[in-house]
Amino acid sequence: MRNRIAFISEHASPLASLGGVDSGGQNVYVAELAKQIARKGYEVDVFTRREDRDSPQIIPFVRGVRVILVDAGPAQVIPKEDIFVYMGEFRKQMENFIQREELEYHLVHANFWMSGLVAMELKQRMNIPFVITFHALGYIRKVFQKENDRFPDKRVDIEKEIVKHADAVIAECPQDREDLIKLYEAEESKVPVIACGFNPKDFYPVPKQTARTLLQIEQDEKVILQLGRIVPRKGIDNVIRAVAKLCENGEVYKLLVVGGEREESVGYQEIDRLKDLVKELRIEKQVVFAGRKERDLLKYYYSAADVFVTTPWYEPFGITPLEAMSCGTPVVGANVGGIKYSVLDGKTGLLVAPNDPVALADKLQFLLARPELLESMGAYAQRYVKKFKWCHIADQVIDLYKKVLKIQYVDNLLDPLKESFVEAAITFKNSAREIAEDILHAGTVMSNALLSGKKILVCGNGGSAAESQHFTAELVGRFEVSQRRGLPALSLNADTSILTAWANDFGYDDVFARQVEAYGDRGDVLFCLSTSGQSDNIVRAINAAEDKGMVTVSLLGKDGGMAARYSRYNIIVPSKSTQRIQELHLHIVHQLCTIIEQRVVAHDRVEKTIKPLNLPLARLNVNNQPAYLNIHQNYKGYGS
């Protein structure tokens, strides 16, 4: 069966178009990772909140990936800051879906803290392990946005709980990992760094001339590209101010701002603020707001630009620098989070402090004045960025899944395994208290029969058949005493020809009774082993033996069943578990052998049936006595 993974991404659907306020890196991450993971043999379902009334609940995305729309809150686009109140409903609906469709998910991969909350609850309720990628951390957002952060105050506490219960937390860059460990007390071993990726099929270099012709950009213009979601965190105002500084310095560059759409539900928008700022700085001619562009057009924008700029004040990863580098465009990026991890300062671009327009203007001016440097950086970037292809990232994520599933597998099996030892120990202890005397009695009855020249017939089914042969092997052969005569004991389940012929011709119920009839004599013992005491062939054998004047002894379990009713002597292990009963049966078989051997050897010594002088010297113990004499001395005797 293929492993089935449930992605949860409450606000970022892989189906959503890119560039809106709440769609961006996370949508791409979920879409690309799901695709690659499915390509590598997993079944992936992506659970996301329904945002329109008309779509079906299950939407096939690509081969192996389905998008499941979860009804939680109004079926319309809601800013992610307002979704939290619907997450209880989200969890309930998701759980209903899983049960209704009889799906078995091996692992949940949650994206963003609210999905993490759902994953944490599903783990508690359905025992599905989960991995989370936070994409952004509430603690850091709060530090920067303060009262402008509209997420519920409890976000950070919930995130801490999620970190505690997650089986692994994917850090997108070393800075993210450090934050998770320091600020969220994440266990170091649970936080691997796995970067985000890019798709080389979507992002590859297009000759600059072609790209500019297509986008109607002057061939000789110096173009700085800013591309991505238009939200305050991205620090686009910083870029605008830097361009204004460049103008002050007499440099004329064009800043192309791609992305962003007016959201009806939101009041004063970031894009309005930026446009006002452009006006205020009087650089309308230098800044072009190109709006949101379809994904397949983005490579032309990246390729047309001389340099790509991104200076957020916080960025757990940031996919756009990878896309720019893959198109052969160097990046000037903020020296924060994932950007300082993915952009090699001085090699694939330059790093600069966030919120510092003067420093940014300096870096841009330096680079744009050096076309050869830009070219060599672009070429290096294109080679270097290959390690971030989604297929390589997916390999790392799958390795993590395997590790989590292995731990889960071990946890699921190890605890019951340990528990079984405790349970066995308890059964042994209870047996010592409750049935030790019955065992001694049975052993005495058996040894009396042997000492009177009688024999023991033994039978059982399955595991008990094995113990029956185990018992006869110890008696006919040897147990603990090295030199003694063989004792007559015959296992009735050992002769396959008799068993199969009789079972085949007449039925299985009399396979033992028939042999009791053939071999049994008055005074012989029939020793039956049965965990339930309900096997018909055992009950019939007991009746046949009693009819012949034999002595019946049964080793049983549970409530002793029918066998206990008809058998003369019973040892009933105080347990309801077949396994535990069988384990005790083996121990009891050994104890019966001990009793029988000690009594027979003691008796034979008195009768002088074994000549001690025949023993090889090496067999003598420290007292220069054969071992069986010690046993004889230790034996206190019991009601023979």
Ligand X SMILES: O=C(CO)[C@@H](O)[C@H](O)[C@H](O)[C@H](O)COP(=O)(O)O
Output the known binding site: 461-463, 470, 474, 504-505, 530-532, 535, 582, 590
Angle of helix 236-248 versus helix 270-280 axis, rounded to 10: 10
The closest of 338, 3, 428, 2 to 140, measured between CA atoms, is 338
Q: DSSP code of 389?
A: B
Structure tokens at 137: 């951390």
Given a contact cutoff of 8 angstroms between Cβ atoms, the answer to whether 596 and 487 are in contact is yes
Residue 594 binds which of Zn ion, ligand X, none (CB < 5-8 A, kind-dependent) = none
Residue 535 binds which of ligand X, Zn ion, none (CB < 5-8 A, kind-dependent) = ligand X
Q: Choose one: 339-347, 456-464, 469-477, 569-577; the region binding Zn ion (CB under 5 A).
A: 456-464
Q: Which residue lies nearer to ligand X by CB, 408 or 543?
A: 543
Q: Which residue lies nearer to ligand X by CB, 463 or 523?
A: 463
3-state helix, strand, coil split of the chain in percent (to 5) is 50, 15, 35
Q: Which residue lies nearer to Zn ion by CB, 311 or 493?
A: 493
Q: Which of 535, 554, 575, 598 binds ligand X (CB under 6 A)?
A: 535
Q: How far apart are CA 573 and CA 339, in angstroms?
A: 68
Structure tokens at 176: 């993210």
Q: Which residue lies nearer to Zn ion by CB, 34 or 584?
A: 584
Q: Is 365 in the site for ligand X (CB under 6 A)?
A: no
Residue 461 binds which of ligand X, Zn ion, none (CB < 5-8 A, kind-dependent) = ligand X
Structure tokens at 453: 């020249």
The closest of 573, 576, 553 to 471, measured between CA atoms, is 553
Residue 591 binds which of Zn ion, ligand X, none (CB < 5-8 A, kind-dependent) = none
Output phi, psi for 466, to 5 deg: -65, -40
User: How many residues make contact with ligand X (CB under 6 A)?
Assistant: 13
Q: Is 567 in the site for ligand X (CB under 6 A)?
A: no
Q: Choose one: 3-11, 367-375, 405-413, 458-466; the region binding Zn ion (CB under 5 A).
A: 458-466
Q: Choose one: 85-93, 455-463, 519-527, 542-550; the region binding Zn ion (CB under 5 A).
A: 455-463
Q: Choose one: 106-114, 153-161, 277-285, 526-534; the region binding ligand X (CB under 6 A).
A: 526-534
Which residues ranging from 462 to 481 are in contact with ligand X (CB under 6 A)?
A: 462-464
Q: Is 463 in the site for Zn ion (CB under 5 A)?
A: yes
- Smallest distance from ligand X to CB 518, Å: 22
Q: Which residue lies nearer to ligand X by CB, 226 or 582?
A: 582
Q: How far apart are CA 458 and CA 341, in angstroms?
A: 75
What does the angle CA 478 – CA 481 – CA 484 come to, to the nearest 5 degrees? 70
SS3 state at 552: strand
Q: Residues comprising the binding site for Zn(2+)? A: 470, 474, 582, 590
Output phi, psi for 117, to 5 deg: -65, -45
Bridge partners of 570, per DSSP, are 554
Q: How far apart are CA 565 and CA 558, in angstroms?
A: 13
Q: Which residue lies nearer to Zn ion by CB, 491 or 582?
A: 582
Q: How far apart are CA 611 and CA 335, in angstroms?
A: 95
Q: Which of 491, 530, 554, 598 binds ligand X (CB under 6 A)?
A: 530
Query: Amino acid letter at 553?
Result: V
Q: Which residues bind ligand X (CB under 6 A)?
A: 461-464, 530-532, 534-535, 538, 578-579, 582
Q: Which residues bind Zn ion (CB under 5 A)?
A: 463, 582
